[in-house]
Amino acid sequence: MINISSSTTDLIFDVQDFTGRNVRNISHISVLIELAYTSGNHKLFNDLIFKAKYLKGLKNISQKEISGNNIDIKTAIEKILSEISTELNNLTKIIQEVIFDLSPEEKGDFENNFFLMKNECLLKYYELIEDLSMFKEFFNAKT
């Protein structure tokens, strides 16, 4: 298993303190931070947290009732769901890029927890997305 630095741990604690929420997938988040942010690949990490925050927003929109006189509701819902699907695929590609150098067992852990087409995996993936979006909120507030 990958060694997690104190920089990564400190960042997680800072984000939890800032947001007032706990990171639910702390081991997986730690690995992603260690491999991307702490190792210096800030662009990849920023892409990761941006996509997560965007997906969280799309999910929130999809759960609200869409109404309006000039809106084709069915078309709007289809567009939102299509965008969610596209962005989930994009986020998965980014995560796979981040974890590329992990051992097959460690990559398999991500696959089994988040990427399989099972309800439990999708629920855990959305938890991971919410965890990652906390980091976007944190960094947005710091700039």
Please indicate whether residue 89 or residue 143 has the higher confidence score (pLDDT).
Answer: 89
| CA angle (52 as vertex; 124, 34 as ends), nearest 5 | 80
pTM of the model: 0.89
72 confidence band (pLDDT: 50, 70, 90)? confident
Closest listed residue to residue 28, CA positions, set 108, 137, 118, 117: 108
Share the mean pLDDT of the chain: 92
Q: What's the one-letter identity of residue 122?
A: L
Render 79-101 in DSSP notation, one character per residue.
HHHHHHHHHHHHHHHHHHHHTTT
| Sequence ranges of the domains in the chain | 6-142
- What the block records as the tokens of 84 is 């969610």
Report CA dihedral (97, 9, 130, 141) to the nearest 10 degrees. Answer: -100
60 confidence band (pLDDT: 50, 70, 90)? confident
What integer pLDDT is reported at residue 138 of this predicted model?
97
Percent of residues, the chain, with pLDDT higher than 90 = 77
**Per-residue 3-state assignment (H helix, E strand, C coil) for 28-69:** HHHHHHHHHHHCCCHHHHHHHHHHHHHHHHHHHHHCCCCCCC
pLDDT at 74 over 70: yes
**DSSP character at residue 113:** I
Tens-place pLDDT, residues 103-127: 999 999 999 999 999 999 999 999 9
